[in-house]
Amino acid sequence: MSKIIIAIDGYAGCGKSTTAKQVAKALNYAYIDTGAMYRAVTLYFQEQQVPLDNVAAIDAALEQIDIRFEANPAQQRNETFLNGRNVSNEIRSLSVSEQVSEVSALPAVRKAMVAQQQRMGQAKGVVMDGRDIGSNVFPEAELKIFMTADLEARARRRQVELQGQNQSASLNQIVENLQKRDFLDTSRAEAPLTQTADAIVIDTTTLTIAEQTDRVLALATQILAKQQTI
Ligand code: DC
């Protein structure tokens, strides 16, 4: 059976990652969390104190970064490895969240990550979530989803996610972080978050994860069935 690329873009906290992970599992596709890649770069830059206004230092730092994903079936999640170290929890911290939009707006960072994402998806059979997957990484993706949800619903979900990792942040802190990131992610010069004309919008404010997953799976199944008859 032929395989497709499923691009899931949208604001932070809409349930993109959870949905993408479950869709990938149901279709036996690879799941690639591109936000985790930008978060890992941010963590590396923070740890190595890379000055964000020094292009040469950024280029040199990017050369040193190796990001990989590994499935952890026991915990039903993908682990993110930065230069061989499992950073899955650290990259979700508020300090990384506070700086990731700034780091991900840097042209050299985007160029390096997009090239890696395109390599990861070249054989198709992937579900990739992020901000610019349908618009920039895989403009030819067979299925593009654009997820939205109310700000408060998104903040509450992020809070539960952080609590699950024993990290605490007030709802106000999270709302402020989301608003700031929404602004930076949609207004940056390089590949900003935009809804492409061919994307299907899913508002997840009142949906459960199972409902979100079912909607994406139904759309994917339709496309796959159509491809088989061609
Ligand atoms: O999906 P997330 O919230 O973990 O993403 C973290 C940040 O990374 C997000 O605020 C913007 C950036 N990002 C990006 O610029 N492009 C992507 N494809 C994915 C994430």
Rounded to whole angstroms, the Cα distance separating 104 from 15 reads 20
Q: Is 35 in the pocket of ligand 1 (CB under 6 A)?
A: yes
Rounded to whole angstroms, the Cα distance separating 87 from 105 reads 21
Q: How far is the CA of 183 from the centre of ligand 1 (A)?
A: 12
pLDDT of residue 21: 94
pLDDT of residue 41: 98
pLDDT of residue 230: 64
Rounded to whole angstroms, the Cα distance separating 172 from 179 reads 11
- Residue nearest atom 1 in ligand 1 by C-alpha distance: 35
Which CATH fold would you assign to the domain 5-223? Rossmann fold (3.40.50)
Mutate to test the pocket of ligand 1, among 8, 19, 34 (most ligand atoms within 8 A of CB): 34
Dump pLDDT digits (tens) for 3-24: 999 999 999 989 999 999 999 9
Dump pLDDT digits (tens) for 50-99: 999 999 999 999 999 999 999 887 777 889 999 999 999 999 998 999 99
Q: Is the pLDDT of residue 40 over 80?
A: yes
Q: Where are the alpha helices (DSSP H) in 6-92?
A: 16-27, 34-47, 55-63
Q: Is the pLDDT of residue 193 over 70?
A: yes
Q: Would you list the domain boundaries of the chain?
A: 5-223
- Residue nearest atom 5 in ligand 1 by C-alpha distance: 35
Q: How far is the CA of 227 from the centre of ligand 1 (A)?
A: 31
pLDDT of residue 65: 97
Q: Is 19 in the pocket of ligand 1 (CB under 6 A)?
A: no
Q: Is 15 in the pocket of ligand 1 (CB under 6 A)?
A: no
Q: Is 135 in the pocket of ligand 1 (CB under 6 A)?
A: no
Q: How far is the CA of 141 from the centre of ligand 1 (A)?
A: 19
Q: Mean of the pLDDT values across residues 198-225?
A: 96
In the Cβ-directed half-sphere of 33, how many Cα atoms lie within 13 Å? 26
Q: Mean of the pLDDT values across residues 28-56?
A: 97
Whole-model pTM: value is 0.93
Angle formed at CA 53 by CA 173 and CA 13, multiple of 5 degrees = 30
Dump pLDDT digits (tens) for 217-230: 999 999 999 988 76
Rounded to whole angstroms, the Cα distance separating 53 from 51 reads 5
Dump pLDDT digits (tens) for 106-164: 999 999 999 999 999 999 999 999 999 999 999 999 999 999 999 999 999 999 988 88
How many other C-beta atoms are found inside a 10 Å radius of the C-beta of residue 204?
A: 24
Q: Is 219 in the pocket of ligand 1 (CB under 6 A)?
A: no
In DSSP notation, 134-193 reads IIII-TT-SEEEEEE--HHHHHHHHHHHHHHTT----HHHHHHHHHHHHHHHHH-SSS--
Element (H, E) at 119: helix 107-121
Instruction: Name which of 139, 173, 180 is nearest 156 in CA terms.
Output: 173
| Beta bridge partners of residue 70, listed in sequence order | 79
Instruction: Name which of 16, 126, 36, 35 is nearest 81 in CA terms.
Output: 36
